[in-house]
Structure 1
Amino acid sequence: MFSTTRSKGLERVIAASPSVSLPAFLLPAFPIIPSRPFSASTCRPSQIGRAPLSIPPEVKFNVIPPVIKKNMAPAAARPTVVIEGPLGKMSMTIPAFVNLEHDEATRKAYVTVEDREVKKQREMWGTTRAYLQNHILGVSEGHTAILRLVGVGYRATVEDTATTVSPEFDGQQFVVLKVGYSHPIELPVPKGVKATVPQPTRILLEGVEKEVILQFAAKIRMWRKPEPYKGKGIFVNGETIKLKAKKIK
């Protein structure tokens, strides 16, 4: 029997030059099977960045070129995109290697990068396009998140004052949760987000910036994450959970 290191060396020799004739006692006992990838499907890169941005008539889409200061590297100068609509105004700084072509006649915007072969540019291509699309929808239609409270006695209200948390700005509201703790949970609503309770077990979050809304929804969900045995917890949008069988001792 050969050691593991020696047998692997023989396999490399046979794989590198299959025409080399070796004695029979040096050949491996089992045929060498070439390795194959885990998935047989071909690699399909994301095509989000190629899709054009549709700009509604009521939305203003402006690209402000960067201001290059003295002793500033060209890569540090980044253009800014300003998007203004009936619900608000948002701005976003994009990388220097991302180019935006705005066709005002067809109200379309196209996102491209300088070199598609660079991994960093390919990653930011679709990310930048997705962020811009979220900003356009935010200032024109707005983003929403619906939270469902599932559990006996689970309730939520929106209050103007709180006892355990101090307000960060004037007129700030607080989401008060009663989800099985000995005391109510008071969470301040971020600026630019509107929280309402159409039902005692429903929380509706509305706002312009999608990231802020979902981050606040995740903060609320953290207090009662859905558990897989009774299905209790706080669910965000269409979130579901697969129930497990009860543990029998």
Structure 2
Amino acid sequence: MSCSIPQRCARQLLREPFQRGSLPIFLAPAFSPRTQCFSTTSPAQSRVGGAALSIPPEVSFKLIDIPATLSRTRGKDIPKFVAEIKGPKGEMSLNIPSFVNITHDEAAKKASLSVEDTTVPHQRAMWGTVRALLQNHILGVSEGHVCVLSMVGVGYRATIEDKASTVQPAYPGQKFVSLKVGFSHPIELGIPQGVVASTPQPTRILLEGVDKRIVTQFAAEIREWRRPEPYKGKGIFVNGETIKLKAKKIK
């Protein structure tokens, strides 16, 4: 089977060494060797990890060394020291990986983070993660974290009860959130330790706590019982969550 003239010319150009003078100008970029990398961003700075931490005056920020005998973590994130953060709302601690360095300026109430090798992907990923966790801890011990749940639906109600008939308390003095969200029986959920729940309105649940992870996780567990649906707009919404309504399916 014979090839057309343009196909034979293209094959001949690919076999022969590249010569810029033997090609038209508009074909030169396609046959030239690639000399530029796909990404031109500098791997030296992290947008989140490079930002300095502001420590309020009422918050105590300390770095405590961990002896090697007490460090049981294996893998890349072996902690070398722990950050101890205390404030008016409580105290928290965070294990810092060995490749993360923290410079604490007590006079200026600032702390900055850096990593040993910015070209290692795992270190760059943990750079911003550790900084975000420290920021959440500082905000938690100074002001606290809040989640507001709004219940939208006919007959949807929530109350805070001292006792529950379907759930056993996990610790002494535990309270329970009782939900009425369209089931034939109330839903009773135990409030985690360190979280304070209240109902300023029958259709509003206010969760407060020092640890952001625990507060948001409990809010997600409550929301899971009635996730917002897109046809009638009913459900449990967290922190001003919105949903786009769909048109009803009419046959």
State whether TM-score is above 0.5: yes
| Match runs of 1:214-233 below 5 Å | 214-233=216-235
Measured in 1, the distance between the counterparts of 2:13 and 2:228 equals: 51
- Residue number in structure 1 paired with 2:34: none
CA drift at 1:120: 0.4
| Match runs of 1:92-111 below 5 Å | 92-111=94-113
- Residue number in structure 2 paired with 1:136: 138
CA drift at 1:65: 1.4
Measured in 2, the distance between the counterparts of 1:225 and 1:12 equals: 61
- For the residue of structure 2 that corresponds to 1:94, the secondary structure is strand
Measured in 2, the distance between the counterparts of 1:63 and 1:92 equals: 10
* CA gap 1:232/1:18 in 2 versus in 1, 3 angstroms: farther
* CA gap 1:68/1:246 in 2 versus in 1, 3 angstroms: same
- Residue number in structure 2 paired with 1:49: 49
- Residue number in structure 2 paired with 1:67: 67
Question: Cα RMSD (Å) of the superposition?
Answer: 3.3
**What letter matches 1:126 in structure 2?**
G
CA drift at 1:166: 0.2
**What letter matches 1:55 in structure 2?**
I
- For the residue of structure 2 that corresponds to 1:78, the secondary structure is strand
Q: 1:87 aligns with which of 82, 86, 89?
A: 89
**What letter matches 1:59 in structure 2?**
V
**What letter matches 1:57 in structure 2?**
P
CA drift at 1:209: 0.4
- Residue number in structure 2 paired with 1:26: none
The count of aligned residue pairs is 231
Q: Percent identity of the aligned residues?
A: 59
Does structure 2 retain, via aligned residues, the 8 Å contact 1:67–1:77?
Answer: no
Measured in 1, the distance between the counterparts of 2:71 and 2:53 equals: 35
Does structure 1 retain, via aligned residues, the 8 Å contact 2:46–2:127?
Answer: no
* CA gap 1:11/1:142 in 2 versus in 1, 3 angstroms: farther
- Residue number in structure 1 paired with 2:238: 236
* CA gap 1:71/1:140 in 2 versus in 1, 3 angstroms: closer
| Match runs of 1:198-209 below 5 Å | 198-209=200-211
TM (norm. structure 2) is 0.82
Does structure 1 retain, via aligned residues, the 8 Å contact 2:149–2:219?
Answer: yes
**What letter matches 1:233 in structure 2?**
G
Does structure 2 retain, via aligned residues, the 8 Å contact 1:68–1:77?
Answer: no
TM (norm. structure 1) is 0.83
CA drift at 1:238: 1.7
**CA offsets, 1:125-178, max 9 Å, x none?**
000000000000000000000000000110000100000000000110000100
Stretches of structure 2 lacking an aligned partner (at least 5 in a row): 31-37
Measured in 2, the distance between the counterparts of 1:186 and 1:42 equals: 53
**CA offsets, 1:53-101, max 9 Å, x none?**
1111111100011212399999635210000011101000011100011
